[in-house]
Amino acid sequence: MSAVPPVLKIVERCQKLFEDLDFNAVKQWKAAVPGRKAIGFMPVYVPCELIHAAGMLPVGILGGGDQLEVIQGDAYYQSYICRIPRSTIELGLTGRLDCLDGMLFPSICDVIRNLSGMWQMLFKDKYVKYLDVPQNYVDSIGGSFYISELENLREDLGKLRGKPVTAAEINASIAVYNENRRAIRDLYAYRAAKPWQAPTSEVYLLLRAGMVLPPEEHTPLVREYIAAADAMPRPKRDNARVVINGSFCEQPPLALIKSIEMAGCYVVDDDFILATRWLLDDVPSDANPLEELSKAFLHRSASTAAKYDTTREEKGVYLLKQVKTRGAEGVIFAAPSFCDPALLERPMLQDILAKQKIPYTAFKYAENTGQMAPIREQAGTFADSIKLWSAA
Ligand code: SF4
């Protein structure tokens, strides 16, 4: 009997974590040292360093996926609203998030803002914070506002654990997250260089594992995956290299990511689970930590529809850079149904791509989309058209 290759063992472990809607990994982490706390956070980005510095586990909550039946959650939102708030409510009401001692709702859209209010009413014994982010990128204006938000969070977390969170603790956590971001940057660079060796369905599961594992455990797992993936040759296909845009909040079902790949696309960049890659480079870990986190947010962070662009000229710059630096041949706009930020931005991005003669296609999904055939046909036709007509 042949042994399971190491790369597949890692993927299998990540898949189990991904499928576990009871968050047993979080429960185990808490049980290992009684008294430890876990804080959930919604997409897109929160400064996990502060949670980590308080000795707590940051837990990414990305909805219920396609395995959760939403029964009670539907009563809280109009039927046309995207699915992630409803499935998150369902997770909460069914007790699956009881292992969390608090929840952070970063400013992303009105739906998430409303969800933070509902959470306060529904779970009165839990810490809940709506984390506002700046829409002005001048250090003395947006920066000082953001630092005060970070200061409030730091104080709250200090109260929750019964001891203030020190600058030295935050700096130590910044160093830990720098390592994690470096590993993920390497993973993304590796996938762009050899997408046949690191399928996006696997890369995605690795990122999801980082939503429930502590960074000290996740970083070596990412490094092990890169080494193990490289050690197992896989067939190289003549696929079209694409960037996926629009999936920064409610996540597509895993089957959808697989369908895009099976249709003949190599995903060479994407905006899945941006929390892991929001800050684009290392944050200095030997200075004033809140100031450095603020500067990184203001001047060196990823772009997405949920983040304010101060000028029209900035729109699309990040996407074009992804296309050019990753050697992509086209863009797939894949956004959740009724996702205002993504769908409002999409025409602007499409205009920019059209001017640059970069092919694109677009569709919508829900986290529980089940019918993959139309998406596979659309992505397959897109990949074929790139291969047939875009070649120089
Ligand atoms: S999917 Fe879009 S509309 Fe829905 S909560 Fe997320 S950002 Fe808001």
269-288: pLDDT as tens digits: 999 999 999 999 999 999 99
Which amino acid makes up residue 108?
A: I
CA gap 91, 8 in Å, rounded: 29
Q: How confident is the model at residue 136 (pLDDT cuts 50, 70, 90)?
A: very high
Joined together, the tokens standing for residue 294 give 């603020």
Residue 392, pLDDT > 60, answer no
DSSP labels, 246-277: S-SSSPPPHHHHHHHHHTTEEEEE--TTGGGT
Question: Which among 340, 345, 365 is the best mutation to test ligand 1's pocket, defined by most ligand atoms within 8 Å of the CB?
Answer: 340
pLDDT at 391: 56
| Percent of the chain clearing pLDDT 90 (strictly above) | 93
**In angstroms, what is the span from residue 299 Cα to ligand 1's centroid?**
24
Distance of CA 236 to the CA centre of its chain: 27
pLDDT digit string, tens, across residues 194-247: 999 999 999 999 999 999 999 999 999 999 999 999 999 999 999 999 999 999
DSSP labels, 18-87: HH-TT-HHHHHHHHHSTT--EEEE-SS---HHHHHHTT-EEEE----TTS---SSGGGGS-TTS-SHHHH
- Residue 268's nearest CA partner among 245, 235, 241, 238 is 241
Strand ranges, E, within 272-381? 330-336, 360-365
- Who lines ligand 1 at CB under 6 A? 82, 84-85, 108-109, 111-112, 249-250, 306, 336, 339-342
Question: CA dist 370 to 204, 211, 222, Å?
Answer: 19, 24, 29
How high does pLDDT run on average in the chain? Answer: 96
Cβ neighbours of 10 (radius 10 Å): 21
pLDDT at 371: 86
**In angstroms, what is the span from residue 196 Cα to ligand 1's centroid?**
31
Residue 389, pLDDT > 90, answer no
**In angstroms, what is the span from residue 337 Cα to ligand 1's centroid?**
9
Question: Which among 81, 114, 130, 249 is the best mutation to test ligand 1's pocket, defined by most ligand atoms within 8 Å of the CB?
Answer: 249
Residue 184, pLDDT > 80, answer yes
Predicted TM-score (pTM) above 0.75: yes
pLDDT at 370: 87
Q: Once rounded to an integer, what is the mean pLDDT over residues 345-358? A: 97
pLDDT at 1: 59
Residue nearest atom 3 of ligand 1, based on CA coordinates:
339
pLDDT digit string, tens, across residues 156-180: 999 999 999 999 999 999 999 999 9
Q: How confident is the model at residue 309 (pLDDT cuts 50, 70, 90)?
A: confident
**In angstroms, what is the span from residue 83 Cα to ligand 1's centroid?**
8
- Residue 332's nearest CA partner among 268, 251, 250 is 268
Taking phi over 0 as left and psi of -120 to 50 as alpha, with beta for the rest, 2 belongs to beta
